[in-house]
Amino acid sequence: MSDAMGPGHSRRKERSRQAILAATRALVAEEAYEKVTVEAIAARAGVGKQTIYRRWPSKSAVVFAALLALSEDADGQSITLPDTGDLEADLKLVMRASVKEFADPSFDRLIRALTTEIAQDAALAAEYREKLAEPLDAAKKARLRSAQRAGRLDAEADLDLVLDAAVPRRG
């Protein structure tokens, strides 16, 4: 259907989606999560609330989408880790970026709101695992496998254990 409406329609839909996600992040950063409403998000984004409800079933789903969008690159691809060939440097870069992210009060409020919602909403928890937690673990394992192939990590290392420990074993 959107193809029949032309590329301009698709661009408008994407601009609208980006505006909604940015408005969601801004409002959660400014307000207590409980005070943020779909109506407020719609007003900030300059769209009708039905535009939001057509895409997301709830405020918590929009908040999750806003968080998930932070992990996408310009092409909409999610979660890739650096692979310069130097595992230690790459892991330090990822850890520094993670620390910086969690030190940002607006990100902290967003992740706290989402964590609260996930604890209460099994469907959202499943979507979180499917779209963020599992792909992130897969990206980390892919990076560790690359290190194993390059001889930078013990070829017999249990990657799940390495991930759990968050400390790379030197091979």
According to DSSP, the residues that pair with 78 across neighbouring strands are 72
Query: Running DSSP on this structure, what letter comes out for residue 35?
Result: G
Residue reference for tokens 């609260």: 116
pLDDT category, 169, cuts 50, 70, 90?
very low
Rounded distance between C-alpha atoms, residue 70 and residue 72, angstroms: 6
Residue 91 has pLDDT above 70, yes or no: yes
pLDDT tens per residue, range 51-73: 999 999 999 999 999 999 988 76
pTM summary value? 0.77
Per-residue model confidence (pLDDT) at position 45: 98
**Other C-beta atoms lying within 10 Å of the C-beta of residue 119:** 10
